[in-house]
Chains A and B, each alone.
Chain A
Amino acid sequence: MTRLSLNGIEVDLEEGTTLLEAAQHLGIEIPTLCFHQGLSAYGACRLCVVELGDGRLVSACTYPVQEGLRVRTHSPRVLRARRMLIELLLSICPSSKRIQDLAAAHQVERVRFSVRDERCILCGLCVRMCAEQMMAHAIGFVNRGYRRRITTPFDLPSDVCRRCGGCLYICPVCELRCQGPEATSIVCGACVTPAPTCPPVYGDLACYMGAAGECGTCVREPRTPDPHSSDLRGRRESL
């Protein structure tokens, strides 16, 4: 057993556990993008950054627990880093629902970088899905640096691909964002709840059925404060 401090809570954890698993076990929510339970951790998206006692920022999904480690999962520095990462991801892939949802949840409201709209963030989930779960090894990374992309050998239809669709299933950017009134903006309308609130109430008027946001139930409600944000404590005390 390894004893460490997670957000000030002393916990005993089995050796070999990662910080992300430890946090999830304790019910502390750390955002992830390139992580999936059934696949090996890859540490590509860095969204799960946490701050260690010595001030280092490490990816929680790949960092194993260590005796005496002091970890903060939602320190101001971590939140700043996450916001920056989300902003960068948005500039690559503004059409992705997952990334727009992350942006909304983390109050990312602008993108200061030139927008590329690439439809792939090179998170490697599809590559790992194909290799580790489907045992097909049909797709992988090719080239390097800014030319890096995911494809089949020689860009030809693969002999080993069984058309299972696992890569599409797991892709975090294949799912397009809400096609609402601001479908072409870089940062979306930032609905408070990423899932539409209207279907149970308005049935057919659900955003994705027609002109989205028309009914006005889901768009631009006041934001709820981030439950882990540092100013929460002050707010609670004032209440």
Chain B
Amino acid sequence: MREVEAIIERYGAERRHVIAILQDIQARFHYLPREALLEVAARVRIPLIDLYSIATFYNCFSLIPRGEHVIRVCLGTACHLKGGTRLVEALERELGVRQGEMTADGQFSFETVRCVGACALAPLVLIDGRYYPKMTQRKLTQVLARLRRARPAAEVAR
């Protein structure tokens, strides 16, 4: 867990920085691995349960692995009326996982959210923080295909 060490170093091993530290770990690994939490607890010298409380309290943290691309389907009132649930069904078919889960290849994880504050663009899908407005099943399939194609290139670049 060299990387976790580096992240802690960047902020300083102090209690007041743990949320920032956890956010960086989440950004790096797409979730909070158990070993990382143990490492942070040991280095910052705070009880593990306190970290666990923080990690389970905030929705931005996940304790189970999230995919490379996080797909969020909005199911707020407007999106719901505009057929958000059909997008959910389409994604479940397309990815072969249910909401809250990650695909076996670790490429996509898929969750639902309540309102992302852009109801005029309903139904909305967020992929990696980018808004895809007025989504349809067909557009969704296209976007997924593009992301799948883009993956090998990204790996080469890395």
CA distance A158 to B49 in the complex (A): 9
A229 to chain B, nearest CB (A): 41
Pair A153/B49 contact, Cβ less than 8 Å: yes
Pair A154/B52 contact, Cβ less than 8 Å: yes
Q: Can you list 12 A-B contacts (CB < 8 A)? A: A140-B47, A141-B53, A142-B53, A142-B56, A142-B57, A143-B57, A144-B56, A153-B37, A153-B48, A153-B49, A153-B51, A160-B47
> Is A86 an interface residue when CB atoms closer than 8 A count as contact?
no
A-B residue pair count with CB separations less than 8 angstroms? 33
Interface of B is mostly: helix
- A: contact size bracket: 10 to 19
Pair A154/B34 contact, Cβ less than 8 Å: yes
Pair A140/B49 contact, Cβ less than 8 Å: yes
Q: Which of B37, B53, B57, B63 has the most CB of A within 10 A?
A: B53
> Is A90 an interface residue when CB atoms closer than 8 A count as contact?
no
B117 to chain A, nearest CB (A): 20
Pair A137/B47 contact, Cβ less than 8 Å: yes
Closest residue on chain A to residue B58 by CB atoms:
A144
Interface of A is mostly: loop
- B: contact size bracket: 10 to 19
> Is A139 an interface residue when CB atoms closer than 8 A count as contact?
yes
B40 to chain A, nearest CB (A): 12
> Is B50 an interface residue when CB atoms closer than 8 A count as contact?
yes
Set of chain B residues within 8 Å of A137, measured between Cβ atoms = 47-50
Set of chain B residues within 8 Å of A139, measured between Cβ atoms = 49
Pair B49/A138 contact, Cβ less than 8 Å: yes
Contact with A along B29-43 (1 / 0, CB 8 A): 000001001000000
8 Å CB interface, A113-147 against B: 131, 137-144
Q: Which of A153, A154, A158, A160 has the most CB of B within 10 A?
A: A153
> Is A66 an interface residue when CB atoms closer than 8 A count as contact?
no
> Is A179 an interface residue when CB atoms closer than 8 A count as contact?
no
Closest residue on chain B to residue A137 by CB atoms:
B47
Q: A138-B49, A140-B47 are in contact. List 6 more A-B contacts (CB 8 A).
A: A137-B50, A142-B52, A142-B53, A143-B56, A153-B52, A154-B63
Set of chain A residues within 8 Å of B48, measured between Cβ atoms = 137, 153, 160
